[in-house]
A = this chain, B = another copy of it.
């Protein structure tokens, strides 16, 4: 069965705490691949910067989680074009009313990304993305933005709005921005995150992250 992804972010945080040494990344190698970061204090986004090496606390831990960008290549190869690429935009992302499973003082709602997909291609979209369980897997919602608390699909909370054509359906996947929502909702005292759309890029082929 499909493994529903809405709880995975808090699980990832728990796993990271347990396997902290295995997941520890050298700050230098982590910071060389991304180019925009967000600094949160007491859950509030304080600033967005391009270099965090000087403010990286020595006793802190970095961890990487999946990103739906990992299946974009497979979608394109499968004949499903990406509106955000066509329009040279970042994918739109939205806060939802879907609650993550809480862990200790950490809790909050899932953030989703949205891709418009032709109604005739949605089954293929589900099949392709279900092969990437570590990069969010199958969509958690197809159509009906209202059903997950999105009032206006043309006003994303992160990223850019993209056109949805009359023969297309908005398809929503769990999103790696969810932890930033958790940081805010849980008022975490200090955290550095990636900036939405500015991901860690590895040299692993995308079909190896199944």
On whether the beta carbons of B123 and A140 are closer than 8 Å, the reply is yes
On whether the beta carbons of B2 and A127 are closer than 8 Å, the reply is yes
Q: How many copies of this chain does one complex carry?
A: 2
A118 at the interface (CB under 8 A from B): yes
Q: A127-B1, A127-B130, A138-B127 are in contact. Are A122 and B143 (CB under 8 A)?
A: yes
A124 at the interface (CB under 8 A from B): yes
A142 closest partner in B (C-beta):
B122
Shortest CB–CB separation between residue A80 and chain B, in angstroms? 12
Interface size on A, residues (CB 8 A): 26
Interface 1/0 per residue, A111-152 and B, CB below 8 Å = 000000011101110110010000000111111101110000
On whether the beta carbons of B120 and A148 are closer than 8 Å, the reply is yes
Interface 1/0 per residue, A64-94 and B, CB below 8 Å = 0000000000000010000000000000000
A53 at the interface (CB under 8 A from B): no
Interface 1/0 per residue, A162-182 and B, CB below 8 Å = 000011110000000000000
On whether the beta carbons of A123 and B126 are closer than 8 Å, the reply is yes
A140 closest partner in B (C-beta):
B120
On whether the beta carbons of A124 and B2 are closer than 8 Å, the reply is yes
Shortest CB–CB separation between residue A136 and chain B, in angstroms? 11
Contacts of A147 in B (CB 8 A): 118-120, 166-167
On whether the beta carbons of A127 and B126 are closer than 8 Å, the reply is yes
The answer for the CA separation of A166 and B169 in the assembled complex, in Å, is 15
Contacts of A2 in B (CB 8 A): 123-124, 127
- Which of B138, B143, B146, B148 touches A143 (beta carbons < 8 Å)? B143
- Which of B1, B118, B123, B169 touches A169 (beta carbons < 8 Å)? B169
Shortest CB–CB separation between residue A66 and chain B, in angstroms? 17
**A-B CB contact pairs (8 Å), 8 listed:** A119-B144, A120-B140, A120-B148, A122-B126, A123-B130, A143-B143, A143-B169, A144-B167
